[in-house]
Structure 1
Amino acid sequence: MKEFVYRVARPALAHFPGHHRSRRGDSGHEFRAHVPLHDAPDVRRLDLHASLRDPLGQWLVRVANERKAVPVYAVADLSASMAFQGERRKLDVLADFTEALAWSAWRTGDAFGFVGCDEAVRRDWLLPLVRSQGAGSAFARRLRAFAPAGRNADGLKEAHRLLRRERSLVFLLSDFHLPLPTLDAVLGSLAHHELVPVLLWDRAEFAQPGDEPNAAGSPGGIGLADRIGRLASLVDAETGQRRLLWLRPALRERWRRQLEARRGTLDALFRRHRLRPLYLLNGFDADAVTAHFHR
């Protein structure tokens, strides 16, 4: 089982003991403040030096922050575009990530939950917060056998309603081929939580149709099709609609520029929401996820 190490930037607010820094409790190991004895009646933490210096003559005790757990969620796009297969099928990469996340949460002492969405929130793809060693493996097996058919991922806009109100660590898993207004609404709805957008991309999906060796028979030569264009049959990943398109050189160049601009547009949107995205190309990499939280 692959495991990665995550951490939260802000102190945890939960009440369950765990691994993460918090500002709750009074008997931990991270000093927070001195308080009067009657507010924290534990003479074992009495600080005589601080009490003698107190101008009000109070008996003061030391209180220290305790380590707490945080809820961890995977909010996943299960629309039809996630069935794309290049070097690996995107749903298989999603399954690998989900399995590793659930295992890592269990090892850290956190509860794990899952919310799957396509056109709406999928009730058959909901997992309430659990502390179970095998929860991720069961969900991963279902994901690997799943054939998505949703025409869009609008259900992500309602996913926040299925999360706990307390601040949680939320991984938003998608290929992010969403209309920008939809994506903006999704990020805004999850702003209360500590959000990590995880982009599941495959290099094959950004290759232009017809990027095989040209009519001259050599990848380095210039064939007739490169000069006048070629006919390509394209399929919309979400709707399944097929369309014939004549790929003129000008159209191929415009396509290339738009693909290059897409990442810049997404990065600008993430910066506006003060988020650091995690790009996973051609498969799940546990070390890359760990590095994302420690740089």
Structure 2
Amino acid sequence: MTQGRASEAPAPRDLPYRLFGRARGVTAGAHRAVGSGGAGAFLRHASLLELPDARRIDMRASLLDPLGGMKVRRFENRARIDVFILLDLSGSMTFARDGEHDPVAELCATIAHAALRGQDRFGMIAAGPKARADLAIRATRRRGVAEEVWRALRSEPGEGSGVAGLLDSLDQLPARRSLVFVVSDFLLPSAATDALLAGLWRHDVAPIVVRSSAVERRLPAFGLVETRDLETGRRRLVLMRKSLREAWLDKSRRRRAELERIFLRHGRPAFDLVDRFDADAFADYLLSGGA
């Protein structure tokens, strides 16, 4: 990717996301909704007494009914939903960026594009230790919102530690069940991650774990390693050796396993966003039941 291309928002594309369970919206859309009626996807036949709507009479099914009853087509309601991104903007989330790529901005802009193309509404809540009202987007179908998300996140450095701001912002989500993508590196105590997901109990939550492969692939077996805490800016030199390297890698594996248990307890597995945003891999995750 060239520098010029990297300054452009991702091309619009459809994503096969769906809401676990049934939507409760009243505006016609693409998602299975509560109830049935006279429009939408065909569900089953009903008797005219059950659904007294002569416009929906199916003459062929009525003639084939051995009891001679009048059959009416009954349809499954379909509705629009709200698609939200809950974005962690703490300092540790800046590690994934370089001069050409911003996988988080690409992910968020792609989700925004897909939501609008799917006739749903898109919204975003961004926060680190404090809520970021300047980056909040109320659920909307406004044209250009994906490009707005792209530009805003490309220039956003992130700072501080923790996700207290996200926890404080959960009441900004609608009461109606929505699809919420939680985008974070989840470098949090397990209790904090559990509290964040528990606060989203009324919604369908899809976690996106932002990771860097450098943590495992570029860790030397021996030598001096300079580390920097992205949230505090603190630097220190560490003498890396085989035993310490194995301990770090083991801790990373155990943390990821614990995260997966937490995610599954709250409904679904996570998508790993490692180094670069791969739209095809994300679509595969959604198709496999991720969202």
> What TM bracket, shorter-length normalisation?
0.7 to 0.9
TM-score between the two structures when normalised by the length of structure 1: 0.82
* TM-aligned CA deviation for residue 208 of structure 1: 5.8
* TM-aligned CA deviation for residue 134 of structure 1: 0.9
Paired amino acid for 2:86: V
* TM-aligned CA deviation for residue 60 of structure 1: 7.3
Quote the residue 1:26 is aligned against.
37
In the TM superposition, 1:168-183 aligns within 5 A as: 168-183=178-193
* TM-aligned CA deviation for residue 273 of structure 1: 2.2
In structure 1, list runs of 5 or more residues that go unmatched: 215-225
Q: 1:191 aligns with which of 188, 201, 225?
A: 201
* TM-aligned CA deviation for residue 47 of structure 1: 6.3
* TM-aligned CA deviation for residue 25 of structure 1: 4.7
- Residue pair 2:48, 2:57 contacting (<8 A) in 1 also: no
- Residue pair 1:121, 1:155 contacting (<8 A) in 2 also: yes
In the TM superposition, 1:60-209 aligns within 5 A as: 61-85=72-96, 92-207=102-217
Q: Which 4+ stretches in 1 moved above 4 angstroms?
A: 46-54, 59-62, 86-90
Quote the residue 1:270 is aligned against.
263
Paired amino acid for 1:9: F
Paired amino acid for 1:237: L
Quote the residue 1:293 is aligned against.
286
How many angstroms apart in 2 are the aligned matches of 1:113 and 1:162?
Answer: 10
How many angstroms apart in 2 are the aligned matches of 1:120 and 1:24?
Answer: 40
Q: CA RMSD in A?
A: 2.7
Quote the residue 1:220 is aligned against.
none
1:233 aligns with 2:233: no
Q: 2:27 aligns with which of 12, 16, 25?
A: 16
* TM-aligned CA deviation for residue 87 of structure 1: 6.7
Paired amino acid for 2:88: D
Aligned with 2:267: secondary structure?
coil
TM-score between the two structures when normalised by the length of structure 2: 0.83
Which stretch has the larger CA shift, 263-272 or 166-175? 263-272
In structure 2, list runs of 5 or more residues that go unmatched: 1-10
Paired amino acid for 2:252: L
Q: Count residues in correspondence.
A: 273
* TM-aligned CA deviation for residue 253 of structure 1: 2.3
Which stretch has the larger CA shift, 61-70 or 193-202? 61-70
How many angstroms apart in 2 are the aligned matches of 1:5 and 1:231?
Answer: 46
How many angstroms apart in 1 are the aligned matches of 2:203 and 2:247?
Answer: 38
* TM-aligned CA deviation for residue 153 of structure 1: 1.9
- Residue pair 2:135, 2:152 contacting (<8 A) in 1 also: no
Identity fraction in percent? 31
Aligned with 1:283: secondary structure?
coil
* TM-aligned CA deviation for residue 82 of structure 1: 1.1
